[in-house]
Chain A
Amino acid sequence: MAHVVLKDLVKTYGSFKAVNEVSLTVNDGEFVALVGPSGCGKTTTLNLIAGLIPITSGDIVIGDQVVNDLDPKDRDIAMVFQNYALYPQKSVYMNLAFPLQMRKLPKAEIDKKVREAARVLDMTQLLERKPRELSGGQQQRVALGRALVRDPAVFLMDEPLSNLDAKLRVQMRSEIKRFHQDLKATIVYVTHDQLEAVTMADRMAVMNGGFLQQYDSPAQVFAHPANMFVASFVGSPAMSLIPLEASTANGDTVLKSAEGWSLQLSQRNARKAQSATTRKVVLGARHSTIKLHKSAVPGAIPAKAYTVEPTGDVTFVQALLSGAIVNISVSPNIAVKPDEQIWLEFDQERMHLFDGETEMALEAA
């Protein structure tokens, strides 16, 4: 096992920067998820680590070796692909044996390791089958086995669960997590699904537009998003972002809406709002931090219910506020009808404030 360091990593295609000065460290035995929307550069970053595409500038260190110019085969990595990339003409056994054969291991040792990997992944009875004779979940497991059999320094996984159906995905998610816990393996895991990243990773690197937006533990990313992109990307339903204008009078700071209502800020939030570059401040609030009232309450803001989505455990209400859609979760025994007048109360302790100009999270000075 080994750690991985990316230093000012850049990949350009012509004038397009796919990966832009990304720097991060993956500790030995750590599970790191690269997460972001499609086209954010996460898969490119993974391919750069694997050595499948050449880097434009920067450094990649695996273990204690700079691997910038090494062939993929010399980097001591294993990769699990989105489409599994099992060799269709080879049996499961030969698929698992291939990485060992390429390393010229003795036949007896190959046999031992293949059977051990098959036992661990519970697919001994599948060894003679061809990949096309396997179900999606079994193929996925073979792909995992082929990575595991070699005992590499780093595992790279490129959206390994996205081709599975929803039920199997949840099951394989916990299997991969278990796999990481048992092996203490260093894993770099690419996904577009923030839920996968949050549930599996020790740390998550949120990317957008080729830039690394935030790199921290899922709990930290969730609780303290660095900017509006991360705030809206992580968490489901997404954090509501309401563009407002800050103004201070008589020592009180309020956020004013173009619709006419205003929200008085606590001391701490007031200091945050005052640190913004302009008066434009964006209020961010997760669905669970907003209280819904069916009658006027001091400090609550009037809004209109837009849609109501019961999910059983909890009912999601969407409301329109200052042109933004606000998600609120309520207990299912609170009946709200679309177009009904409601009042929303924001939790001062758990609200987020962002600079309307730079989109960065505001900190109390």
Chain B
Amino acid sequence: MSTIAETAARGQARRRLRFDGWRWGGRIFLVFMLLYTALPMVWMLLTSIKSGFAAMQFPPQWWPDQPTLASYQKLLDPQNSVGQDFLRFFWNSLFVSTATTVLSVIVAVPAAYAFSRFTFPGRNFLFFTVLLRNMFPAVIFLVPLFILMRAIGLVNTHGSLVLTYLTFGLPLAIWLLKGFYDNIPVQLEQAARIDGATRFQAFILIVMPLSTPGIIATAIYSFIGAWNEYIYAYTFLSKNEQLTLPVGIQRFFSENTTDFPGLMAASFIMSVPVVVLFLVLQRYFVRALTEGAVKH
């Protein structure tokens, strides 16, 4: 007869040795997903350091015989005409995305706070209409918005893009931030007001610092949305010097040949700000997505 301790120990050993099909299935699936997302990026990077000839070879060179940074030099050289264009597109994109991000935080923070803390007539209706916009695919608004922008003389300006991106980014930003403010106990503000703060000071000194993760997540979300947007930039802008990166990169496709290493190098440079931004702030981003969603 075995003691209870012995039985438990044997059970543990069995559990350790047993092949856990689900766990291994999950791991294999994750590896597959990783390859699926990472391989195109790796291929992009490899192609960007090939020569134009090597990029077109078949069977492909997995690792280029003569790796070169020529494409990068060309893109980042302000003396070169390709470089001039690329750098201008880069600054255009940076300007539009930054303006969108700053404005969306400036609008979303007070809006979300008001939805969370104040009761006013039409609050629920307004909050619903904020979300209404996200129930339709973005392209539906392409033609109406173009007509609107033409009517108010904003076609061919970066302002038209900033405005448009705001209407796309704000609903989620407000929604996310409202969840954040809902989770900050109202007593904290009350305590601050009793301790000598005005309502506005209580917001700035107590509530704002607590909602930093939410604000950062909102900012990242707006920035990435604006940075990657293609169809509106393509429709609203026609002058070469105004184009943003996603549209500008198209110039590497020409009638006869496509400069694949140049295209890939441009794509890589374009992804750098987003990746950097995300790596630096991801800690806040993940916290925001979980904290905002869960009620304590």
Question: Footprint of B on A, CB under 8 Å?
Answer: 50, 52, 71-73, 75, 77-79, 81-83, 85, 87-89, 98-99, 102-103, 146, 150
Contacts and interface: CB of A to CB of B under 8 A. Distances in A.
B273 interface: no
B194 interface: yes
Given A52-B193, A85-B190, A102-B195, 6 more contacts: A75-B194, A77-B194, A79-B194, A85-B185, A87-B206, A98-B195
Nearest to A89: B209
The 7 closest A-B pairs by CB, nearest first: A102-B196, A99-B195, A85-B187, A85-B191, A72-B193, A73-B196, A81-B187
B210 A88 contact: yes
A103 B188 contact: no
17 contacts: A52-B193, A71-B198, A72-B194, A73-B197, A73-B198, A75-B194, A78-B195, A79-B191, A81-B191, A85-B185, A85-B188, A85-B191, A87-B191, A89-B209, A98-B195, A102-B196, A146-B191
Contacts of B196: 73, 99, 102-103
Contacts of B191: 79, 81, 85, 87, 146
Nearest to B210: A89
Interface residues of B, number: 16
Interface in B171-208: 185, 187-188, 190-198, 201, 206
A240 B195 CA distance: 45
Most central of B185, B196, B198, B209 by chain A CB within 10 Å: B196
A188 to B, nearest CB: 13
A73 B205 CA distance: 15
A77 B192 CA distance: 12
Contacts of A73: 193-198
A102 B202 CA distance: 10
A85 B198 CA distance: 17
B192 A81 contact: no
B101 to A, nearest CB: 24
B206 A72 contact: no
Interface of B: 185, 187-188, 190-198, 201, 206, 209-210
Contact of A72 (B185, B190, B210): B190
A75 B190 CA distance: 13
A76 to B, nearest CB: 10
A43 to B, nearest CB: 11
B185 A146 contact: no
Interface residue SS majority, chain B: helix
B121 to A, nearest CB: 13
A50 B195 CA distance: 11
A102 B190 contact: no
A256 B291 CA distance: 63
B61 to A, nearest CB: 54
Contacts of A98: 192, 195
Most central of B195, B206, B210 by chain A CB within 10 Å: B195
Most central of B185, B190, B197, B209 by chain A CB within 10 Å: B190
Contacts of B201: 102
A220 to B, nearest CB: 32
A79 B197 contact: no
Contacts of A89: 209-210
Contacts of A102: 192, 195-197, 201
Contacts of B209: 89
B119 to A, nearest CB: 10
B190 A52 contact: yes
A50 B190 contact: yes
Contacts of A150: 195
A188 B192 CA distance: 19
Contacts of A83: 185, 187
B181 to A, nearest CB: 14
Given A87-B206, A102-B201, A81 B195 contact: no
A79 B201 CA distance: 18
Contacts of A81: 187, 190-191
Contacts of A87: 188, 191-192, 206
A52 B195 CA distance: 12
A18 B3 CA distance: 65
Contacts of A146: 191, 195
A273 to B, nearest CB: 49
Given A83-B187, A85-B185, A102-B201, A50 B206 contact: no
A10 B198 CA distance: 25
B26 to A, nearest CB: 34
Contacts of B195: 73, 78, 98-99, 102, 146, 150
A88 B191 CA distance: 12
A71 B210 CA distance: 24
Contacts of B185: 83, 85
Contacts of B188: 85, 87-88
Contacts of B210: 88-89
A73 B206 CA distance: 15
A159 B193 CA distance: 19
A123 to B, nearest CB: 18
B284 to A, nearest CB: 14
Contact of B193 (A71, A88, A103): A71
A50 B187 contact: no
Nearest to B209: A89
Contacts of B198: 71, 73
A2 to B, nearest CB: 16
Nearest to B187: A85
A146 B192 CA distance: 11
A81 B187 CA distance: 7
A158 B283 CA distance: 36
Contacts of B197: 73, 102
A332 to B, nearest CB: 41
